[in-house]
Structure 1
Amino acid sequence: MNRFFLVLVAFFSSFTLEAWSQKIHIVTRNIEPFSFEQNGRRVGYAMDLWQEVAREAGMDYDVQVVGTAQEMVDALTNRTADAAVGALSVTSKREEIMDFSQPFYESGLQIVTSGKTASIADTIFQLVGNLLNWKLVGAFTLLIVVMLVISHLVWLYEHKVNEEMWPKSYRHGLWESFWWTISTLLVGGADNKGPVGVGGRIIAIIWMLLSIVLVSLLTASFTTTLTVNTLKGDISGPGDLPGRDVATITGSTAANWLTNHGANPKPYATLTECLTALKRKEVAAVVYDAPLVQYAVSKDGDDKLQLVEPAFDRQNYAIGLQQDSPLRERINRALLALSESGANTDLQKKWFGTASE
């Protein structure tokens, strides 16, 4: 009986050891700088981190490369892979059908737009367009009306006592009065011309004081309009995306976000294709994971590509696992150990120059 018990224990122990040490099947995709091929080796921040996790947890593994994040998720739900390593966002929808390790990188979505080098003519047209907005046009219209009222009042009082400077002829008199009004507004007065009557001087005092206020308001309005409209691009944040054609990656969380927020997502296989479509003006913007677009724009080197700050819809990257995976606890312990030792921070500095916040 004791011998049978010992044999049974030995059998299950060997089975457990074999299951514990079996090769882990990893699925990933080409997405710089998290996972990509370089000099015949699979490298990147996520792959380097996984190598450290596997070493810490004593796991052997092989790697399969697929095309999209959705294919990584499908490999886990179909149980053809044990873990998915790369830039895989943790979402509630994915959590329903699979498990995740603890997060190892904080991400979010970011917008890329394309500026252009403006010619002199384009700059002039832009300035004119900035000035011809309803607020400024309305302010100028109101100013002209006020100036005409002041001109009429000054002429009404002055032509009776100062016909030399304010002729009795309505057309000529009003023209002279308007010249004085606009000169007072712009330079504080008109040479060799000024009201001499009591009524005219009272109106002049009121207009001079009012001119100080109007000049200040007009200067502030001009400065604000030219500065804001010149610096503000066509798309300055997520609120400008609804109704626009926006490039993103097929099956990504960015594509879902764009659909849910009224934009028109145009799916592409890679970020390079997205940026090319943006340069060709086939789309109004590119939206994808912040660290990936930052890396892609930096690598592209086109100074016309502009990142719209800040990132939005904050998310986390984690290692994807099968539902109720027995690997989860081992991987989490390894990730915690790497975080405590500073290895994770060192890897972030290696690939991004700084650690994620």
Structure 2
Amino acid sequence: MKPAFFRSLTTVLAALVVMAGLLSTAALAQDGQAGAAGGTPIKVGVYVSPPFVVKDGVAKDGAHYSGMAIGLWEATARPLDLTYTYSEYPSFEALTEAVRKGDADVAVSNLTITKDRVERVTFSQPWYDAGLRIMVAERDSAGFWQVMGGLERAGHLRAMAWLATIIVVATLVLAWFYRRFDETFPRSWHAGLAESFYEVMSVATSGKVTRPNALGWIGRISGGLWMVCGVAVIAYVTSSVTSVMTALTLTHQVNSLADLPGRTVGVDGGSVAETYSRDLRLSTQAYGTLDDAVAGLRNGEVSAIIGDAPVLEYYAHTHDKAPLSVVGPIFHPDKYGFAFRHGDDLSHAITLQILALQEAGELEALRRKYFGNER
């Protein structure tokens, strides 16, 4: 009897274990699909960052969003039969903190996976490889005041001021000289000064002497000396202005990260770009939106903008009338993921859906929808 009793007891215990496992699995599934039809909707926090999150407008039922991140989230939520509502946050930092505190259940945007954020939230499977790049405003040429400033810094402006003084003195001396020794020279002072000034500027700009025979052979010699001086003046002025404009063109160009030290760069406040720029000890100016940063770039507040490469590339492509260029290679490579509160089983369920979409090629198709075939 005893062996039969123990076999019956073992069977009962095994059945209880199986039932407990099924109940546990059902509970986990119910937790992982919080917000399923008939439950409390999931609070989805978003940060507007085209083309990943685009705000299409506000209707009676709330704001409507689109973009690659939104499309991916909806594609992963659909098989899990999740219901959700969107809430917009003003920055990546605010979005991350909302998830950490439980004010939002999931963060949906081009949120970069970093060590600091992983300590505060749990990330899903990465779904986009990105990095940072630089955006600059194209400038056709250096302005007048920039050239004048360059001439002053190079010391040419002082030399040109001396040349202007010499021209004025030469005009006065030449007018006095011709009035005394050249009978054909105008007698009135205003006409004489005008004639003398024309003579000096003719020599200075073209090397031509208008009155070479005023004093015979002495006039010829003095005229030749004037021509030499004029050619030297023109060569000096031309070379100095050209060199300054060339230097301005070179120094105002930003082509890579190495060109940024000593300049102020615009960044998205609370972004990885801001943290990375400060780690490099670059002078930064934080903005609330990319539009604000671009306005600062055009106004000369910043020399360049550092931001997520796909975001900057998309902005420059969709604002083709604005003189903007994304330059240099991608640096500080990173990945995007959805963020969840620590301990939320929904992160595992969403990760499985992301992997399924990736294996089916739907994730790549979604990427091509917004970025084309370029990588």
Normalised by the length of structure 2, the TM-score is 0.61
Tell me how far apart the structure 1 counterparts of residues 144 and 358 of structure 2 sit (CA, whole Å): 55
Evaluate the alpha carbon distance shift between residue 121 and residue 283 of structure 1 in structure 2; reply closer, same or farther with a 3 A threshold. closer
Tell me how far apart the structure 1 counterparts of residues 363 and 23 of structure 2 sit (CA, whole Å): 39
Contact 2:130 2:334 in 1 (8 A): yes
Q: CA deviation at 1:87?
A: 0.9
- Which residue pairs with 1:335 in the alignment? 354
Evaluate the alpha carbon distance shift between residue 311 and residue 227 of structure 1 in structure 2; reply closer, same or farther with a 3 A threshold. farther
Q: CA deviation at 1:76?
A: 1.4
Tell me how far apart the structure 2 counterparts of residues 338 and 355 of structure 1 sit (CA, whole Å): 20
* Residues 51-89 of structure 1: per-residue CA shift (max 9 Å, x gap): 001113333222211111001110111022221111100
Is residue 114 of structure 2 the alignment partner of residue 91 of structure 1?
yes
- Which residue pairs with 1:282 in the alignment? 301
- The 3-state SS of whatever aligns with 1:56 is coil
Contact 2:142 2:249 in 1 (8 A): no
Contact 1:89 1:253 in 2 (8 A): yes
Is residue 287 of structure 2 the alignment partner of residue 273 of structure 1?
no
Contact 1:272 1:296 in 2 (8 A): no
- The 3-state SS of whatever aligns with 1:87 is coil
* Residues 122-152 of structure 1: per-residue CA shift (max 9 Å, x gap): 99x79x99xx9xxxxxxxxxxxxxxxxxxxx
- Which residue pairs with 1:262 in the alignment? 281
Tell me how far apart the structure 1 counterparts of residues 144 and 263 of structure 2 sit (CA, whole Å): 27
Tell me how far apart the structure 2 counterparts of residues 228 and 313 of structure 1 sit (CA, whole Å): 30
Tell me how far apart the structure 1 counterparts of residues 125 and 369 of structure 2 sit (CA, whole Å): 21
- Which residue pairs with 2:61 in the alignment? none
Q: CA deviation at 1:354?
A: 2.5
- The 3-state SS of whatever aligns with 1:275 is helix
- Which residue pairs with 2:51 in the alignment? 33
Q: CA deviation at 1:306?
A: 1.9
Percent identity for Structure 1 against Structure 2: 26
Tell me how far apart the structure 2 counterparts of residues 96 and 45 of structure 1 sit (CA, whole Å): 26
Contact 2:32 2:349 in 1 (8 A): no
Evaluate the alpha carbon distance shift between residue 77 and residue 115 of structure 1 in structure 2; reply closer, same or farther with a 3 A threshold. same
Q: CA deviation at 1:266?
A: 0.4
Tell me how far apart the structure 2 counterparts of residues 290 and 67 of structure 1 sit (CA, whole Å): 20
Tell me how far apart the structure 2 counterparts of residues 329 and 15 of structure 1 sit (CA, whole Å): 15
- The 3-state SS of whatever aligns with 2:130 is strand
Tell me how far apart the structure 1 counterparts of residues 263 and 251 of structure 2 sit (CA, whole Å): 17
Tell me how far apart the structure 2 counterparts of residues 227 and 313 of structure 1 sit (CA, whole Å): 32
Aligned with residue 365 of structure 2, among 325, 341, 346: 346
The one-letter amino acid of 2:109's match is G
Evaluate the alpha carbon distance shift between residue 15 and residue 266 of structure 1 in structure 2; reply closer, same or farther with a 3 A threshold. same
The one-letter amino acid of 1:27's match is G
Is residue 337 of structure 2 the alignment partner of residue 318 of structure 1?
yes
Is residue 92 of structure 2 the alignment partner of residue 69 of structure 1?
yes
Q: CA deviation at 1:100?
A: 0.8
Evaluate the alpha carbon distance shift between residue 236 and residue 15 of structure 1 in structure 2; reply closer, same or farther with a 3 A threshold. closer
Contact 2:268 2:288 in 1 (8 A): yes
Tell me how far apart the structure 2 counterparts of residues 333 and 21 of structure 1 sit (CA, whole Å): 13
Contact 1:241 1:262 in 2 (8 A): no
RMSD, aligned CA: 3.3
Evaluate the alpha carbon distance shift between residue 122 and residue 341 of structure 1 in structure 2; reply closer, same or farther with a 3 A threshold. farther
Tell me how far apart the structure 2 counterparts of residues 321 and 336 of structure 1 sit (CA, whole Å): 17
Aligned residues: 259
The one-letter amino acid of 1:32's match is P
Bigger CA radius of gyration: 2
- Which residue pairs with 2:31 in the alignment? 19
Listed as ranges, the gaps of 5+ residues in structure 1 are 133-225
The one-letter amino acid of 2:48's match is N
Normalised by the length of structure 1, the TM-score is 0.64
The one-letter amino acid of 1:253's match is V
- Which residue pairs with 2:170 in the alignment? none
Contact 1:348 1:355 in 2 (8 A): no
Contact 2:31 2:346 in 1 (8 A): no
- Which residue pairs with 2:75 in the alignment? 52
Q: How does 1:93-242 map to 2 (within 5 A)?
A: 93-118=116-141, 234-242=253-261
Contact 1:113 1:307 in 2 (8 A): yes
Tell me how far apart the structure 1 counterparts of residues 299 and 95 of structure 2 sit (CA, whole Å): 30
- Which residue pairs with 1:43 in the alignment? 66
* Residues 230-276 of structure 1: per-residue CA shift (max 9 Å, x gap): 67853221122223211111111100111110111101100000001
